[in-house]
Amino acid sequence: MTVVTIVEDCVASAESAFAYVNDYRNLPTILHGLESFTPVGAKDEGLGAVFDGRMKLGPVALTSRVEVTRWTENALIEVTSIKGFEIASTFVFHPKGAALCTIDAIVEYRVPGGLAGKALGRTIEPFVKLAVKHTTDNLVAQIAAFHLTREP
């Protein structure tokens, strides 16, 4: 299992950051390489919500069906794959004031075993590093802009 962790301060409240990330429609603009993220069924947030996602990392397209496995309003969102590419993503929102929070974004993924899995791992590794850099930049910039629209 490969683990990628992003810890960033963001000029927004934890509530604003949570609200932005919790809206699945925002994820393709935050997560670099995410081409689609659509709900499966009527539930589109909270514990038990299920989504189909497609991510492009360089020449490789990966698909997963994920389920929200932990969800605490304004504090935590965790999704875990239940089908397809094995991935788990967790976002933790730490309040630091009315307009400041720290966001922990932890992504864990596993490539299949054998030669094909090793080749896939080597192929996507540089693209994962690039995606993490762009995702970090997108995450803090977009949440900060969203927070400004929510202020009275």
- Into how many domains does the chain fold? 1
- Report, as an integer, the average pLDDT of 57-75: 92
pLDDT interval class at 1 (50, 70, 90): low
Domain boundaries, position 96: 2-150
9: Cβ contacts below 8 Å, ≥ 6 apart: 96, 100, 101, 102, 103, 140
**Could you report the per-residue pLDDT of 14-51, keeping only the tens digit for each?**
999 999 999 999 988 888 788 999 999 999 999 999 99
Burial zone of 68 (CB within 10 Å; 0-12 exposed, 13-18 middle, 19+ buried): buried
* CATH code at position 46: 3.30.530.20
* Averaged pLDDT, 133-141: 81
- Distance (Å, whole) CA 80 – CA 87: 6
pLDDT, position 109:
80
> What DSSP letter does each residue of 14-51 carry, written as one string?
HHHHHHHHHSGGGHHHHSTTEEEEEESSS--SSTT-EE
Alpha-carbon distance of 63 to 102, in angstroms, equals 29
> Has residue 134 got a pLDDT over 90?
no
For 80-123, what is each residue's pLDDT tens digit? 999 998 889 899 999 999 999 999 988 888 776 777 667 766 76
Give the DSSP H/E element, type plus range, for residue 127: helix 114-150
The pTM of the full predicted model, rounded to 2 decimals, is 0.86
